[in-house]
Structure 1
Amino acid sequence: MNSEDLFDHIFMSENRYQGNGYRDGFEEGTRQGMLDGQKHGASHGAKVSTEVSFYRGFALTWKCLLQDTANAKSRKQVKAVESLIGLVEQFGYDNAMSTSLLDEIQKIRTKFRQVCSLLSVPTDFHDYVNGSSGMSF
């Protein structure tokens, strides 16, 4: 190696190390970002799944409770409960990338509030999950 090549090698080492550091940092950041994204997605998916599953169980329970009543108010309640069941069953669990996912969950929440109003029960989903609604199993 001649003296010019040695000088260029020393002079360019800072650029080389900076480039290597950037590349290594970018790769590590990408890897960590993917892990964090998977963790966040799994957590959020579990929350949505829990909520939708609650609505399904709620609606099926009320459908069973109301099935033997014959007055006009009960028929209206059953119709609303069946509508909620239909929305839950159409919910797209298998396509998390769907652009209509937020619209679907909002329709389910709205129908749930309507059903609760017709049944004269509290509408806060979190009260049921935390057990503060007075219900026990």
Structure 2
Amino acid sequence: MNSEDLFDHIFMSENRYQGNGYRDGFEEGTRQGMLDGQKHGASHGAKVSFYRGFALTWKCLLQDTANAKSRKQVKAVESLIGLVEQFGYDNAMSTSLLDEIQKIRTKFRQVCSLLSVPTDFHDYVNGSSGMSF
């Protein structure tokens, strides 16, 4: 190797290392972003599925009642079901995704208020409600 090639090799090594570091960092960032995205999507998907199950259950419970209060409750529950069914599961890049989730969450809170049930079910899940199975 002559001295000119050696000089080029030394001079270009910084560029090579910088390029390799950038590529490695980009690959790691992409991998970590995919993992974080999957966790985030699964979490929101589970919440939307919970809202749907909640609404369908209450619709079944209220379907045989005929007073004015229960008709209002059923209408709100059906509205929640409609929002959940319109939710775009297949387009994760949608700019309105967070707005749709917020609308569902807001409607869920309204339904819970009309039904006089708590919006926070952590006590039931953790077993501190006094219920046992």
TM-score norm. by structure 1 comes to 0.70
Q: CA deviation at 1:24?
A: 5.5
Deviates more, 1:9-18 or 1:63-72: 9-18
State the match for 1:73 in structure 2: 69
Deviates more, 1:99-108 or 1:26-35: 26-35
**Structure 2 vs 1, CA of residues 97 and 127 (structure 1 numbering), >3 Å: closer, same or farther?**
farther
Whole-Å Cα distance in 2 between the matches of residues 112 and 68 of structure 1? 21
Q: CA deviation at 1:39?
A: 5.9
Q: CA deviation at 1:124?
A: 1.6
Q: CA deviation at 1:70?
A: 0.5
**Structure 2 vs 1, CA of residues 92 and 132 (structure 1 numbering), >3 Å: closer, same or farther?**
farther
Whole-Å Cα distance in 1 between the matches of residues 55 and 72 of structure 2? 14
**Structure 2 vs 1, CA of residues 65 and 30 (structure 1 numbering), >3 Å: closer, same or farther?**
closer
**Structure 2 vs 1, CA of residues 106 and 26 (structure 1 numbering), >3 Å: closer, same or farther?**
closer
Structure 2: gaps spanning 5 or more residues: none
SS of equivalent to 2:66: coil
Whole-Å Cα distance in 2 between the matches of residues 91 and 71 of structure 1? 31
Q: CA deviation at 1:104?
A: 0.4
State the match for 2:79 in structure 1: 83
Whole-Å Cα distance in 1 between the matches of residues 35 and 10 of structure 2? 38
Deviates more, 1:84-93 or 1:26-35: 26-35
**Structure 2 vs 1, CA of residues 12 and 134 (structure 1 numbering), >3 Å: closer, same or farther?**
same
- Pairwise CA RMSD: 3.2
Structure 1: gaps spanning 5 or more residues: none
Q: CA deviation at 1:13?
A: 5.4
Q: List per-residue Cα deviations over 1:94-128 (Å, max 9, x = no partner).
A: 00000000010000011000000000000125455
Percent identity of paired positions between Structure 1 and Structure 2: 100
**Structure 2 vs 1, CA of residues 103 and 130 (structure 1 numbering), >3 Å: closer, same or farther?**
farther
Between structure 1 and structure 2, the one with the greater Rg is 1
Whole-Å Cα distance in 1 between the matches of residues 24 and 112 of structure 2? 55
